[in-house]
Amino acid sequence: MADTVVLYAAPDHLNSMLILAKFISQNHQEVVHVIILSTASISAAATVAAIPSITYHRLADATTSTPPPSHVTNPIELSFEISRIHNPILIEALEEISKKSRIQAFVMDFFCNSAFEVSKSLNIPTYFYFSSGGHSLCMFLYIPTIHETIREDIGKLNDFLEIPGCPRIHTSDIPIGIHFRERNIYKHLLDTAINMGRSDGILVNSFDALEPKAKEALVKDLCTPNSKSTPPVYFLGPLIPESNSKDGVTEHECLKWLDLQPPRSVIFLCFGRKGLFSAEQLKEMAVGLENSGHRFLWAVRSPPPSQEEDLDLDAILPQGFLERTRNRGFVLKSWAPQKEVLRHDSVGGFVTHCGRSSALESVSFGVPMICWPLYAEQKLNRVFMVEEMKVALRLDMADDGFVTAAELEKRIRELMESENGNGVRRRVADMKNAGKAAAENGGSSVVDLEKFMSAVNIL
């Protein structure tokens, strides 16, 4: 019977789990088979079809017969609920896999916390995959301590928290899901943090040189409550997707435009699939870009009904903006091949929403960033990127998130023209090299993978 590692992913995190599967397989395909479980409808099988040591198995959608409670509307809470609903199907899948192979480890996505008791009941070594990075993991494992020591809701405070392995974090930068302890989302997150502390280990998408203080705090058991031992933590990054191509398009028109621009001269603005802006904010961004005097590539997104190909750029952006900037700007409707853009030699800066995947991609290609967080844990990521990693500059924004044209212009000029910007650029270049070294033979991430494989009795 073959030794098998089973990865279990919520649909929104399937792509990151696929990358983890490839990393394991690239280093150990001779000794381990990786099976990926998910309810995702996308054709993940095609993504891994060329890798014999990886199998994708789509679970039946249990929500058709057992829908989530109607009162659950928060997307994060909904992901936890959907995972819970699928536990009976998961049990069947694991039992079936066990008939044909030895399951040496079950690695679950953050949102699949409900599966923790399933794998434990089957006596399968149980691990979490935490794609949000080392600093975020420190904060997350510290939630039970916050719960025990701070009786007031974080959302009602205006203070800084001292969390091991992290710079001081203002309560307004803590993810809103843990602001109010009576809400269900808080209970899900608290329970997940507790289970992480009870697990056999945690795999993290990061590398030692990028987050050394966080790694040290985790190794020294500083983040778990009452000095309990932290499970072994394995930094296995940087794990980034191979391509951002869409519908078979590999040579996007914006890449041809970038080919014509000088090296490191273009500011790239892209905010993920949920990064929508009001018409007022888009106009302000346009003014800031125009006044900065720098070249730019901008993926524009606006709330419904104006989206995707129906977006009327002339109507949304300032009158004459596209004509005035046509020799130094390129504006896209919604989607951009982000990875291909970031790896292009003409790109000299990235205005980002601070999603973890985007930040890791930017670091991996040596592109300094300007932070414009929008939702989820992105304000927290900004703190780490600016103050600890030192790979980005911070945008000042109003309480409602609005950024003025003058502020955007100021930060672009700072990144592209000042010594401070050059310092960030040098730091990112160092991290690019460190990340590459971490993923090579003998590098810190490969060494941590060896430790994980040894812990699950595969090596």
pLDDT at 331: 96
Name residue, tokens 């940087």.
238
60-69 confidence digits (pLDDT tens) = 999 999 999 9
158-168 confidence digits (pLDDT tens) = 999 999 999 99
Lowest average pLDDT, out of 16-20, 266-270, 407-411, goes to 16-20
Identify the band that residue 73 occupies on the pLDDT scale cut at 50, 70 and 90. Answer: confident
- As annotated, the active-site residues are 13, 109
Identify the band that residue 45 occupies on the pLDDT scale cut at 50, 70 and 90. Answer: low
- DSSP-derived secondary structure letter, 318: P
| Domain range list for the chain | 2-242+440-455, 253-436
pLDDT at 47: 72
Identify the band that residue 382 occupies on the pLDDT scale cut at 50, 70 and 90. Answer: very high
pLDDT at 369: 98
Q: Which is nearest to 206 in space by CA: 425, 435, 385?
A: 435
Residue 350 and residue 341: Cα distance in Å, rounded? 10
Residue 69 and residue 78: Cα distance in Å, rounded? 9
In this model, does residue 42 exceed pLDDT 70? no
Q: Specify the DSSP element, H or E, that contains 214.
A: helix 212-219
Output the six-digit token pair for 206: 């990061």
Contacts 24+ apart (CB under 8 A), 39-45: 39/11, 39/82, 39/86, 40/9, 40/11, 40/14, 41/11, 42/11, 42/14, 44/14, 44/18
| 407, 288 Cβ separation under 8 angstroms | yes
pTM of the complete model beyond 0.85: yes
CATH superfamily of 253-436: Glycogen Phosphorylase B; (3.40.50.2000)
Distance of CA 309 to the CA centre of its chain: 27
Identify the band that residue 248 occupies on the pLDDT scale cut at 50, 70 and 90. Answer: very low
> Cβ contacts of residue 32 below 8 Å, gap of 6+?
2, 3, 4, 5, 24, 25, 53, 104, 453, 458
In this model, does residue 169 exceed pLDDT 60? yes
187-204 confidence digits (pLDDT tens) = 999 999 999 999 999 999
Lowest average pLDDT, out of 5-19, 42-56, 146-160, 350-364, goes to 42-56
Tell me which fold the domain 2-242+440-455 belongs to: Rossmann fold (3.40.50)
Mean pLDDT score of the chain, rounded to an integer? 93
DSSP 63-115: GGTSPPPTT---HHHHHHHHHHHTHHHHHHHHHHHHHHEEEEEEEEEGGGGGG
With a pLDDT cut of 70, the percent of the chain lying above it is 95
- List the helix and strand counts (H, then E) for the chain: 19, 15
Residue 185 and residue 148: Cα distance in Å, rounded? 17
220-238 confidence digits (pLDDT tens) = 999 987 757 899 999 999 9
Domains 2-242+440-455 and 253-436 share a fold: yes
Residue 438 and residue 111: Cα distance in Å, rounded? 27
